Each structure stands twice: as structure tokens, then as C-alpha cells.
Structure 1
Amino acid sequence: MTPSPDRPTIGVLALQGDVREHLAALTAAGANATSVRRPAELAAVDGIVLPGGESTTMDKLLHAFGLFEPLRERLAAGLPAYGSCAGMILLADRVQGATSDQGTLGGIDMTVRRNAFGRQVDSFEQDLLAPALGAGEDVAPLRAVFIRAPWVEQVGDGVEVLARTARRGSAAGEATAEGKIVAVRHGRLLATSFHPEIGGETRVHRLFVEMVRDALLPTQQQLTS
């Protein structure tokens, strides 16, 4: 089937995490959303979402389902991808706090600190100002949900920082977490520390759908020339 830039087919890696919520957000953002569990399903999508979960478990499941190498090859070939929370870790070139046998798909020139914001009990929500995500001074802020979330320690040249955390309170730990990078874009790759799919927030997914549409345009131009 010929890819359609108007309604691209975007897969959600369905091995762990908020798969149903990502599917709903992608559909609301104008995509044809589908689950991906097998290499044949991966081969049929125009873009891929890597949801939250537990990054070491997701790494093992990717290998168990025979998806790790095919997915890494498609990403290297230019497949657009969006990773949230654990998905951000999978897209990072470098990870602090990783286990000795933990691998990543890579693609974004950044260093991510695993579980940087703390344990499950340290989960929190915060309103973010992120103009590139449609959340600026004159519009509603982006409601971000952080659950055992990473943050980005360092980015390389070419990586665009889309959002940073604000200060949540006066406690020392909360002050330390101020100004941390929690959303980035590197070419056709997008990543957030937080879960926009929770609570019905679709602006991140709308940006990703537009990224996939843009990636399809050269293909469409070749088909019609």
C-alpha cells in the first residue's frame, strides 16, 4: 500500500507500557495507529512510538521478539521515532545508571540519566512551557506526567532542546531537578521524559505525526514525478 502523508501509518511498540493510550493519542492526532510486535508489522509502518515501561525489560523483549536489529536498522535508515520515558532511554546514544548488559537502539546524540527523578513514589505532574510543542506563554502549558522518569544530562550538536523542568518547590531535591532537559528532537527522532499520552494531551503526538508526514513527502514526490 502506498504511504499516505495525509494519514500516515504509525506503529506503537506493543511489548510493554501505555500502548492503548499512545494509539488513542496518535489517532486523535491524525494518524492510522497500529500495534507492532513482529518484524513484519514494523516493516509496514511510516513511523514508530516507543512507549514507557522499564528500559532494561524493553531491551530484552526487543531481542526476544526479534525486533531489536530490524528496528535499529530502520532508525538508522531514517524511520521517524518518538520515545517517551523508557522510550527516550532506548533512543539515547549514552545512558547513565544503565545495567551492565543494557543496550539501546540509539540515534539521538544525548546522555540520559535513568530513573533520574526518583522511584515510583516520586512520580509527579508539572506544567511545562514548550513553544516548539505548542505550549507557550499565550497558550495552555503542556501538562507532563513523570513516572520513574529519566532526564537528559547532555546533548550533542544538532539536538534541539524542546522543554525543561520548572522548580516544583523549596526542597533541595526539587531545586536540583529544576531546569532539567525533558524533551528533545534530533532530526526525525523525538523524545520526552514524560508521558503526554496520560490525561489526553496530544500536542506531542501531533508534532510527531507532522514529522512523519514530512518524512513521507520525498517518497510521494518520487512516486508522482
Structure 2
Amino acid sequence: MEIVTIDQRNIMVGIRPIEPCDESTLYASEVMSIGRAVAKVRRESGAARAAARTLLGQLGFPPMAIPKTRSGVPIWPTGVVGSLAHHVTVAAAAIAGTKKIAALGIDIEPNEPLPENLIALIATPSERRMYDLHTLKRRDLFVLKEAVYKACFPMDRQFLEFQDVEIDTFARSGHVSKANRTFSLELIISKNVIGVAYSRPNEVDAPLQNQRPSP
């Protein structure tokens, strides 16, 4: 498994391929929390949790179950905040200690062009003015907005649409208008596009300012 650290090593991100036997790595409580999911979903969930367990081991935690709540939020051990993600072939997890990071979200997509008919759904009017078509056709905004949602939802329990999140890749920040929260962003691009959103304890939430036009 590949491990990447960000925010001065405060956040660990684990990335691993999804294997045919990954559903067998699920703990009983995880299977119960997932419910009657098809084998494909169990396999993807198992891979993401296997990645998370490896990261937790780096912090000194023994192997443990990571079930989820009814609203789908993973349940982490005390002192840890984290997030899980996957697409068809690759799973990812991000974790951090709550003394340094208060909220954390991750999303992953294959590094492929976004269907052009989805641009208007995902990008806000100001984002469509800010970024050129090449940028809008990438999956960067998609994964960053999904990561922001995963970081924000456990705090506010609000469901967000893509239009509720404004991304400034120049400032590496994402603002949620509904909750008036601003998150720091990281983008990891290789064969996959991975978005990470996070905020620190006692960090002041403020709207995006001084947005610059696309060069």
C-alpha cells in the first residue's frame, strides 16, 4: 500500500488496489453496519477499511473494526478523525489525530476526463468563470467537493449539493456556503485523482476571498 503524508505529516493517506478477497477482511460489526450490500460494495468497503487499519497501525492502534453510523459516517477510535473512499479498482483512506486535525474528508476517482455534460452540475457559475475548460473537464473539482462534503457532514449533518461548495484551487481552500465553513485542500494526482479536505481545531471559518481568474 502506498502511504502519502500531507499538512506537515499531520495527515496520512493510504492508497491500495482493491483485491478479489477484500470483502473477507471485513469485521462482523462492519458487515452489520454495511447491511445487505452486494459483494462488489463489500469488497470495496473492505479494501478501504484495510487501508485505514494499516494507517491506524502507524499510530500504534491494534487492528480494529471501523463500522459506520446509519448516516454512513465511519466510526473512528477516540483521538482519531478519518475518511474512506474508493472507485472501482482502488481504495483510499485518510486519518489524523484530533489534536492537529478537527475534520477530514477524502475522495478518489480515476484520472480520466469528466463527461462534459456534468460540468454545469459540478462547477458553480464563479468556478466556470475562474477555470478554463481543460481544468473543468478534469475530475479535480469533483473529488475536492466530495472530500469537503465528507469533512463537513459529521460536524453539521447537512446534505450538500455540488453548488453548495466553492473551490479555490489557487488558495487550496473550499468554502461551504450553507455552513459558513472553509476547509484546506490537497490534490494528489497520478493514475488516480485524490482530493483531501481538512480543518484544524479552532480554525476560523471564513468565506473565500480574493479569488483570482484562471491564468
Same fold, TM-score > 0.5, yes or no = no
TM-score (norm: length of structure 2): 0.32
Structure showing greater relative contact order (alpha-carbon pairs closer than 8 Å, 6 or more residues apart): 1
